[in-house]
């Protein structure tokens, strides 16, 4: 197994809703090798804070209007752009819909960024989404979610690295990624 040192300024976690981005981020917050060397950020949390969406009911009401979804994406992209310009070392869990070609180009424009795709089967993501009615995507039926998953895969697959959530959860620290 080849070791890949991740001495990068930013590690960005991407994947579909329910893939395990927040799960991995939370497990890394408990690991001093990550928490003492990186600021660990959930992008959705920052956007919800900026939009003053504190409860599940606030979020549900907000997302019931399609214009608000566009506004959320705008705030999300602006927030990501600001984070990528800061000099601090960061691990950022992106939202499931954060990635588009503009975001990928921005991330890849800096050699100190590494995008990691948390590759989780659609069926597993669907279980997580359906079990959490507070998620925006819980209002969609499985066929709509499958289409969205398939549409987004092309962006996720542009990541530098690909792991499952369990592989990432069990990583001992930033230097122990393997390819």
- Please report, for the chain, the start and end positions of each structural domain, with discontinuous segments joined by +: 15-171
Cα–Cα dist 58/117, whole Å:
29
- The 3-class SS string of the chain reads CCEECCCCCEEEEECCCCCCHHHHHHHHHCCHHHHCCCEEEEHHHHHHHHCCCCCHHHHHHHHCCHHHHHHHHHHHHHHHHHHHHCCCCEEEECCCCCCCHHHHHHHHCCCCEEEEEECCCHHHHHHHHHHCCCCHHHHCCHHHHHHHHHHHHHHHCCCCEEECHHHHHCCCCHHHEEC
Strands 10-14 and 39-42: unpaired
The answer to whether the beta carbons of residues 20 and 165 sit under 8 Å apart is yes
What CATH fold (topology level) applies to the domain 15-171? Answer: Rossmann fold (3.40.50)
pLDDT, position 69: 85
Q: Average pLDDT for consecutive 10-residue bins of the chain (179 residues)?
A: 58 95 91 89 94 84 81 94 94 95 95 93 96 86 97 96 83 57
Structure tokens at 75: 């705030």
Strands 39-42 and 177-178: unpaired
Q: Is the pTM of this model over 0.85?
A: yes
Q: What pairs with residue 41 in β-bridges?
A: 92
pLDDT, position 3: 41
């Amino acid at each position: 197994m080849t070791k890949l040192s991740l001495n990068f300024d930013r590690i960005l976690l991407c994947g579909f809703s329910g893939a395990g981005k927040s799960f991995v981020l939370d497990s890394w917050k408990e690991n001093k090798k990550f928490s003492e060397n990186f600021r660990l950020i959930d992008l959705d949390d920052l956007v919800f804070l900026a939009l003053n969406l504190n409860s599940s009911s606030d979020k549900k009401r907000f997302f019931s209007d399609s214009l608000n979804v566009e506004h959320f994406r705008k705030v999300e992209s602006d927030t990501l752009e600001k984070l990528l310009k800061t000099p601090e070392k960061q691990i950022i869990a992106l939202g499931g819909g954060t990635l588009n070609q503009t975001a990928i180009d921005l991330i890849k424009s800096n050699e100190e960024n590494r995008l990691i795709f948390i590759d989780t089967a659609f069926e597993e993501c669907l279980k997580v989404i359906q079990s959490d009615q507070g998620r925006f995507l819980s209002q969609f039926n499985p066929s709509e979610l499958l289409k969205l998953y398939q549409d987004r895969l092309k962006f996720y697959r542009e990541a530098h690295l690909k792991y499952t959530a369990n592989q990432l959860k069990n990583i001992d620290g930033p230097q122990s990624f393997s390819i």
